[in-house]
Chain A
Amino acid sequence: GQSLEQPSEVTAVEGAIVQINCTYQTSGFYGLSWYQQHDGGAPTFLSYNALDGLEETGRFSSFLSRSDSYGYLLLQELQMKDSASYFCAVNSGNTPLVFGKGTRLSVIA
Chain B
Amino acid sequence: DGGITQSPKYLFRKEGQNVTLSCEQNLNHDAMYWYRQDPGQGLRLIYYSQIVNDFQKGDIAEGYSVSREKKESFPLTVTSAQKNPTAFYLCASSIGGSENSPLHFGNGTRLTVT
Cβ distance A105 to chain B, nearest Cβ, rounded Å: 14
Given contacts A31-B100, A96-B58, contact A42 B107 (CB under 8 A): yes
Cβ distance A47 to chain B, nearest Cβ, rounded Å: 9
Residues of chain A touching chain B, judged by Cβ–Cβ distance below 8 Å, are: 4, 8, 30-31, 33, 35, 40-45, 48, 50, 87, 91-94, 96-102
Residues of chain B touching chain A, judged by Cβ–Cβ distance below 8 Å, are: 33, 35, 40-45, 48, 58, 90, 99-100, 102-108
Q: Which residues in B have their C-beta under 8 angstroms from that of A44?
A: 105
Q: Which residues in A have their C-beta under 8 angstroms from that of B106?
A: 42
Interface pair A87/B43, CB less than 8 Å apart: yes
What residue of chain B has the Cβ atom nearest to residue A93's Cβ? B99
Find B33's partner among A4, A8, A96 (CB 8 Å cutoff). A96
Main SS at interface, chain B: loop
Find B102's partner among A45, A93, A100 (CB 8 Å cutoff). A45
Q: Which residues in A have their C-beta under 8 angstroms from that of B48?
A: 96
What residue of chain B has the Cβ atom nearest to residue A1's Cβ? B59
Main SS at interface, chain A: loop
Interface pair B43/A48, CB less than 8 Å apart: no
Most buried by B among A48, A96, A97: A96
| CA gap between A99 and B90 in the complex, in Å | 13
What residue of chain A has the Cβ atom nearest to residue B108's Cβ? A42
Given contacts A96-B45, A99-B43, A101-B40, contact A43 B103 (CB under 8 A): yes
Cβ distance B40 to chain A, nearest Cβ, rounded Å: 7
Given contacts A96-B33, A96-B45, A96-B58, contact A45 B103 (CB under 8 A): yes
| CA gap between A4 and B43 in the complex, in Å | 12
Interface pair B43/A43, CB less than 8 Å apart: yes
What residue of chain A has the Cβ atom nearest to residue B102's Cβ? A45
Q: Which residues in A have their C-beta under 8 angstroms from that of B104?
A: 45
